[in-house]
Amino acid sequence: MSLLEKLHITHRQMAIILTVLTVIPIALTLIGRPIILPLTIGPITKDFYNRIQELPEGSIVAWANHVSFPGYLGKRDGYRAILFQIFDRKLKLIMTSFWHDTPQLWTALIEYSGVEKKYGLKEGVDFVIFPFLAGEESALAAVAADFHKAYSTDLRGVPVKDIPLMQNVRSLKDVQLLISDAGSFTFIDMFVRQWPAAYGIKSINTYVFATVAPYYGRFVHGALDDVRGRAEYESLTGYSGEDLLRMDSRNLQGLWVFVAVFIGNLSYFYARSQKKAVPMERPR
């Protein structure tokens, strides 16, 4: 039996190898020796990174979030990397909530990321979390026009007028960059109309790129396109997380599939050449 014939792979063996390749990056990460495969960084991810990076120290970022808590659990490492870059640049962050359990998302993210301890931050001074505000587009418009009228207190119950960060922030005119994420395509349309389009401020997005593609370059100036985009961003910032781990597993699987296809084609053409090489007897 030739070597190529010995390389025949069954369906079961294929499944086992794919499973092993999926587990390898996870296992190595758990023991503190992660592997990070090369990953091409797309232009919209670079735009996202650069919009934050170019802000002067002390600039204010406002994040409009319309994501549920279960939705956050699949994005939290990408969110964490965003917080790290924001506070690496010594920026200020206003966190707003347009879904009923988004405030829970924000408090969980602050605790998960550990930014208060890592950067010595103080809530109300370096960042503020506002409670859920119902009304979607009308709520977005109200917040954009006047934070002090839209909210009476922050999530902790501190009056807006007594929050140090909000002393010099009245409306979006006092903000330098906008971020959006959503649980629906329609929310992004509302956000664009009421925030960047109405106030002429650059925005970046962490939802699916298709939702902001029609606005890209005018109202939206950077985007993370779902898992791939968050993985690229984690790689670019150096703050790796679950999204980059998913991409490593997926890339290992893809490499193996290419190898298996190559071996299969090699075996097929080898077997075909062997059949042609066998002389055929003439009929008597």
Q: Label residue 280 by pLDDT band (50, 70, 90).
A: low
pLDDT average, residue stretch 17-35: 67
DSSP bridge partners of 93: 61, 127
**C-alpha 59: how far from chain center:** 22
Min mean pLDDT across 33-42, 47-56, 216-225, 230-239 is at 33-42
Higher local confidence (pLDDT), 166 or 283: 166
Question: What's the confidence (pLDDT) of residue 183?
Answer: 87
Q: Using the predicted structure, report yes or no on whether residue 218 has a pLDDT greater than 90.
A: yes
Question: What's the confidence (pLDDT) of residue 264?
Answer: 72
Q: Label residue 263 by pLDDT band (50, 70, 90).
A: confident
**C-alpha 70: how far from chain center:** 15
Q: Label residue 9 by pLDDT band (50, 70, 90).
A: low
Place of tokens 């965003």: 82
Question: What's the confidence (pLDDT) of residue 23?
Answer: 74
Place of tokens 């298996």: 260
| CB-based contact 115:121 (threshold 8 Å) | yes
Query: Beta-carbon neighbour count of residue 82 at 10 Å?
Result: 29
Supply the mean pLDDT for the chain. 88
Q: Label residue 272 by pLDDT band (50, 70, 90).
A: confident
Distance CA 52, CA 184 (A): 24
Structure tokens at 146: 């006047």
- End-to-end CA distance of the chain: give it in Å, rounded: 32
Domains of the chain, by residue range, sit at 43-242
How far, CA to CA in Å, does 178 sit from each of 12, 121, 200, 258?
50, 21, 10, 41
* CATH of span 43-242: 3.40.50
β-bridge pairing 92-97 and 60-66:
parallel
Using alpha carbons, select from 217, 235, 233 the residue that is nearest to residue 225.
233
DSSP bridge partners of 92: 60
pLDDT average, residue stretch 155-165: 97
- Give percent of the chain with pLDDT exceeding 70: 83
pLDDT average, residue stretch 170-195: 96
244-256: per-residue pLDDT in tens? 777 766 767 667 6
Q: Using the predicted structure, report yes or no on whether residue 196 has a pLDDT greater than 60.
A: yes
Higher local confidence (pLDDT), 167 or 18: 167
